Amino acid sequence: MNDKIIVTNLGALKKKYGANGLAKIRAAVKALISADKARVLQTRLIALDRASDMKKVHGSRVSAADNFRQNKKAIDAIYATLRPDYLLILGAIDVVPHQDLINPAFGGDDVDQYAYGDIPYACEEPYSQQADKFIGPTRVVGRLPDLTSGTDPSYLIGLLETATLWKSLTQQDYSDYFAISAAVWKDSTTLSVQKLFGSSKNLNLSPPRGPKWTDATLARRAHFINCHGGQADPQFYGQKGNQYPIAHQAALVAGKITEGTVAAIECCYGGELYDPNLLVPVQAGMCNTYLAGKAYGFFASSTIAYGPAKGNGSADLLCQYFLRRVLAGASIGRAALEARQEFAQAGPDLDPFDIKTLAQFSLFGDPSIQPIAAPTPHTAVATAKLRGVPRAGADQDNFAGAVARGERRKQLLAKGTFIRANQRVASRTPRARVPGSVLATLRRLARKSNIRTPKILSFRIVGGGTPAGAHAKKAFAAAKAKLPEAGAYYVAMTAKKLPNIPAPQITAVIAKEFDGKLVSYRELHSR
């Protein structure tokens, strides 16, 4: 059995850390494999750049570490052959790259040409840069990132030690949360934390709060942050009017994170794995800083993320879904997969900002870690008749859990496959003419959102399958005749450069067209 597969590029690690550093990393991986075995989890390391390893899974070696297509193809071969329950990507983006999905909102005022992320590694679809092909994930995937352009292997070895020694805690250990919100998004974040924790008592608004949080505040194990972020920036920012004070600072967080912390981060570039050496003084980003503090999981975006000022949408929802499942007892990897699937099915179709949201958020941490021990009504049956099954005790319980895990993976595979085949998505139409009546209404909605000179993008709504079976097809046809499917989305965007944040503040109105008229819209703001 191959319950968990660790994939990496040994040549890239050797180039960064030398032969001696690589040997130390491999020893740490061996310790993790041994610890997993004690948890009745069969773990194996596969080098994507080693021909002998890839031959065993009927795949081709990665000859260039930065080749997106080769890495995706190699990991697909591993999955097709071994069907592991967990995939752990070992290394930052200069070891195994995020995939280069084209940002469907690029070309307006969103400056991200690509929505980099790991979701394609979680999907059955072959390599593509088309983000809407990867809306139906089926695999449990996480990444333990070393420092981009790092030269000291001790950081990555520390992360491997956390993955080796982790232990499930109780729900009580995660009940006292830490949350920060830009003051301007108070309503949205209040709704999020109330859904997650039943109360907004621990919600901190910036301004006036931050970034010098007390040790006791930072020690809480559940973190939810909805602030501004910037590219290659180790700080998150609040907002009130034209004030953008620092709300959270990596340098002040270092050494104060409690082991076992799980963080859901809505901020733009909150999960960007930038080179710390680009900054003076040198400073790792928030993701690397949390993981150095023995955080178990960090769920965040590599690029500009979005959400509404009031209500919940986009990054709000995806981060909520992830943290909610962790709190319910899922492994962080399953929590990320189930969150993506729920988000992809939250509405009748996915607009361009939904598609970008799915593409850009990645899970950082060993996906097999289960922060909270989930209660079960089932009791394992002690037996010595099945080969490889422990006789009794904790090991027997672990084996029973492995069987349940396998059954869940089958369900998640079926669900992700269904989503990919049936969910409708927005497809870019760069040169499409916007009908005059639609354009007039869109400009009026844009002015209402203080967008004076909008850049306008248009999208067709495509996809969606027809159900199998005579009765289902008849019901589907009747429903379609009653309410024909909507045809398009139109987006009006504008950006404002901020004085202290290395990212623009983007406002977007996304309007849905039905039968030649705009029937609904929503307003999003870059985080």
Position 500 in a domain: yes
Q: How many CB atoms lie within 10 A of CB 440?
A: 12
Per the omega criterion (within 30 degrees of 0), is the bond before 104 cis? no
Q: Which ranges in 297-392 belong to alpha helices (H)?
A: 315-327, 332-344, 352-360
The number of domains in the chain is: 1
CA angle 202, 203, 206 (to 5 degrees): 135
Position 464 in a domain: yes
State the pLDDT at residue 467: 54
pTM above 0.75, yes or no: yes
Phi, psi at residue 92, to the nearest 5°? -80, -170
In the numeric block, which tokens belong to residue 154?
């001790």
Q: Report the candidate in 360, 290, 367, 377 with the shortest Cα–Cα distance to residue 330.
A: 367
Position 451 in a domain: yes
Gap between the Cα atoms of 438 and 436, Å rounded: 5
What is the domain extent for residue 450? 425-526
Do β-strands 262-265 and 488-496 pair in parallel, antiparallel, or remain unpaired?
A: unpaired
Mean of all residue pLDDT scores within the chain: 91
Residue with tokens 């354009």: 439
E strand or H helix that includes residue 182: strand 178-182
Q: Report the candidate in 363, 302, 294, 303 with the shortest Cα–Cα distance to residue 335.
A: 363
Gap between the Cα atoms of 8 and 200, Å rounded: 41
Position 229 in a domain: no
226: which strand partners? 181
State the pLDDT at residue 254: 93
Position 474 in a domain: yes
pLDDT in tens, 130-160: 999 999 999 999 999 999 999 999 999 999 9
Gap between the Cα atoms of 166 and 159, Å rounded: 11
pLDDT in tens, 168-208: 999 999 999 999 999 999 999 999 999 999 999 999 999 99
Position 37 in a domain: no
State the pLDDT at residue 428: 87
DSSP state, 148? T
State the pLDDT at residue 481: 57
Residue 318 three-state SS: helix
Position 143 in a domain: no
Low-confidence residues in the chain, pLDDT < 70: 1, 376-401, 431-432, 465-486, 502
Position 452 in a domain: yes
